């Protein structure tokens, strides 16, 4: 059975090391487009792999805490 993002938000250890914008959108309660825009403008550190944005768990945790990135 495939796990959904909203089933994993209670413990950061259960979040995969690298996630996609949809997963982040479910956790943050916003749209996929908003997450992609945050990735594009550098507000949320991300990288492209296979033409799709990917976000590291550590960067997502820091983003949710409001930490600044260099």
59 near 42, Cβ under 8 Å? no
Residues 38, 15: Cα–Cα separation, whole Å: 20
Task: Spell out the per-residue pLDDT of the chain, length 70, in tens.
Answer: 455 555 546 778 888 999 999 999 988 889 999 999 999 999 999 999 999 999 999 999 998 888 765 4
Ordered by where they begin, the domains of the chain are 5-64 (1.10.10)
Structure pTM? 0.80
Q: Estimate to the nearest angstrom the gap between the alpha carbon of 20 and the chain centroid.
A: 6
Residues 38, 45: Cα–Cα separation, whole Å: 8
Q: Cα–Cα distances in Å, from 34 out to 10, 30, 54? A: 22, 7, 14
């Amino acid at each position: 059975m495939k796990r959904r993002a909203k089933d994993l938000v209670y413990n950061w250890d259960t979040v995969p090391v690298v996630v996609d914008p949809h997963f982040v959108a479910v956790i943050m309660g916003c749209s996929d487009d908003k997450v992609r825009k945050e990735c594009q403008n550098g507000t949320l550190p991300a990288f492209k792999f296979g033409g799709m944005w990917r976000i590291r768990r550590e960067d997502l945790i820091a983003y949710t805490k409001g930490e600044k990135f260099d």
